[in-house]
Copies of this chain bind each other. A is one copy, B any other.
């Protein structure tokens, strides 16, 4: 089944924007980092996709919790947690970082923000990086303070995002380059705003500070966005898969190393710095990986992934992978999916069979990522 009732309790945390999200017609949620993430509104996934590509949307992505690390050893700790060198990272920059364990298993793929020399935020996917980093720090006896601050990201995504943001925060917003951030004022409170987001379109993320004024921020954005045809939205599965954006827990998890996830470029080659999992990662590099994430395209009736992956076979029935996220792209006019695929079957065009539930087997091909 694709959806079922979600029973609510305080444990599944609301956000500063949940009241607004409900008022604006949310129809489905998922749970990320013990917090509600809207997954659908009134529009169909396809309507939402076309809207996102043409206009501007407001997304409650508060579930991207921040792990704030401050103190004299903060840089040391973070550097020890990731294979990506942060030696030359500047204040005001966002780094995409794999966080791995002693076996080089992926704990999280996060966005690191350097706020100051000794102040960082790790903006995390769905796992308790707060506990991981606190545990490592306590074990090592490092001088750091680690907590989850009252910061709730609100994303403004779509080609008209810049225009909307200028009307609220002034021309200065234009100077923010992709994966950079700056500080802006809203009702007397300073907020970090970065040029980033979990879509292929242009956009920004407002790291909203505080809780009570969330509704006011939403209303201000909505008012400024009406003439731009703003709509409430959320990460769109079609846009995400087309862009080859991965999702922790879906495409990969603790069982997978960063090379399998195509994160080799975020693992600094011949790095001088020591990090958890360095030996394991070097061994894996030397030996070569056995599987990695590839795209799969296939025709036939419109498909959408559920919580049961679709097995992927060769034509002579050897199982070589499983599609973990999949959707029909109305623009590419075919089904597109993401699958960890065994070595020897990475050739673009490789013919595969996909076992789709309640249906005949589908013929498809291995594809590069992103899809276009």
Among A109-117, A165-173, A195-203, A300-308, the stretch that binds chain B is A300-308
Interface positions of A from 278 to 310, Cβ below 8 Å from B: 305-309
* Inter-chain contact A27/B5, CB cutoff 8 Å: yes
A106 to chain B, nearest CB (A): 12
* Inter-chain contact B22/A1, CB cutoff 8 Å: yes
Cβ of A318 under 8 Å from chain B: no
Cβ of A14 under 8 Å from chain B: yes
Cβ of A257 under 8 Å from chain B: no
* Inter-chain contact B6/A5, CB cutoff 8 Å: yes
Partner of A30, one of B9, B126, B325: B9
A6, A26, A30, A40, most chain B CB atoms within 10 A: A6
In the bound complex, CA of A26 to CA of B12 (Å): 20
Cβ of A136 under 8 Å from chain B: yes
Cβ of A131 under 8 Å from chain B: yes
Cβ of A11 under 8 Å from chain B: yes
Partner of A7, one of B28, B107, B138, B247: B28
* Inter-chain contact B138/A127, CB cutoff 8 Å: no
For A8, list chain B residues within 8 Å (CB): 1-4, 306-307
* Inter-chain contact B31/A4, CB cutoff 8 Å: no
Cβ of A128 under 8 Å from chain B: yes
A129, A140, A309, most chain B CB atoms within 10 A: A140
- A-side interface residues, number (CB < 8 Å): 57
Partner of A34, one of B102, B126, B135, B325: B126
In the bound complex, CA of A2 to CA of B127 (Å): 25
Partner of A134, one of B102, B138, B249, B306: B102
The closest CB in chain B to the CB of A108 belongs to: B131
For A139, list chain B residues within 8 Å (CB): 135-141
A110 to chain B, nearest CB (A): 13
For A178, list chain B residues within 8 Å (CB): none
For A30, list chain B residues within 8 Å (CB): 6-7, 9, 11-12, 31
Q: Mark A96-134, 1 if CB is under 8 A from B, else 0.
A: 000001100001000000000000000000111101111
The closest CB in chain B to the CB of A305 belongs to: B9
Q: A4-B28, A12-B307, A135-B137 are in contact. List 20 more A-B contacts (CB 8 A).
A: A3-B6, A4-B6, A4-B26, A4-B29, A5-B27, A6-B6, A7-B29, A7-B39, A10-B250, A11-B250, A13-B249, A13-B307, A14-B308, A34-B127, A102-B134, A128-B132, A129-B131, A131-B131, A131-B132, A138-B139
The 9 closest A-B pairs by CB, nearest first: A139-B139, A135-B135, A11-B249, A6-B6, A128-B128, A5-B28, A7-B39, A131-B132, A31-B31
A interface, CB within 8 angstroms of B: 1-14, 22, 26-31, 34, 36, 39-40, 101-102, 107, 126-129, 131-141, 148, 247-250, 254, 276, 305-309, 324-325
